[in-house]
Amino acid sequence: MTAIDLNSLSPDQIKEILKQVSPEELKNTLQEKENQKEKDRKAYKELVNSSVPTLVGALAAVSEELSILKLDIFEGLKTLLDLKQDAYQVKQGQQTHTFTDDQGNGITYGFRVVDGWDDTVNAGIDKIKEVIESMAKDENSAKLVSTVNKLLKKDAKGQLKSSRVLELRQLAEEFNDDQFSDAVKIIQDAYKPVRSAFFIEAYTTNAQGKKVHIPLSITSVDFPDGTEIEDLFPISPEE
Same domain membership, residue 99 and residue 87: no
Task: Kindly state whether residues 86 and 201 are assigned to the same domain.
Answer: no
Residues 35 and 138 in one domain: no
Whether residue 47 contacts residue 55, with contact meaning beta carbons closer than 8 Å, is answered with: no
Both 79 and 21 in a single domain? yes
**Domain membership flag for residue 140:** yes
Q: Is residue 235 part of a domain?
A: no
CB 199 within 8 A of CB 110: yes
Domain assignment of residue 100, yes or no: yes
pLDDT at 33: 78
Is there a domain that residue 88 lies in? yes
d(CA 81, CA 206) in angstroms, rounded, equals 26
Domain of residue 132 covers 121-154+164-188
Q: What percent of the chain has pLDDT over 90?
A: 37
Rounded distance between C-alpha atoms, residue 82 and residue 99, angstroms: 13
Q: Which pLDDT score is estimated for 227?
A: 83
pLDDT tens digit string along 115-133? Answer: 889 999 999 989 988 887 7
Same domain, 28 and 87: yes
Q: Is residue 29 part of a domain?
A: yes
43 and 88 co-located in one domain: yes
* 239 vs 158, more confident: 158
Please provide the average confidence, as pLDDT, over all residues in the chain. Answer: 84
DSSP letter for each residue of the chain: -PPP-GGGS-HHHHHHHHHHS-HHHHHHHHHHHHHHHHHHHHHHHHHHHHHHHHHHHHHHHHHHHHHHHHHHHHHHHHHHHHHHHHHH---S--SEEEEE-TTS-EEEEEEEEE--B-TTHHHHHHHHHHHHHTTTTSHHHHHHHHHHHHHT---TTS---HHHHHHHHHHHHHHT-HHHHHHHHHHHHTB--EEEEEEEEEEEE-TTS-EEEPP-STTTPPPPTT--HHHHS--PPP-
Q: How much is the average pLDDT of 80-105?
A: 88
Please give the tally of structural domains in the chain: 3
Shared domain for 13 and 81, answered yes or no, is yes
Judgement on whether residues 84 and 20 belong to the same structural domain of the protein: yes
Bridge partners of 191, per DSSP, are 117
Domain annotation covers residue 239: no
Residues 79-90 have a mean pLDDT of 89
- pLDDT at position 26: 66
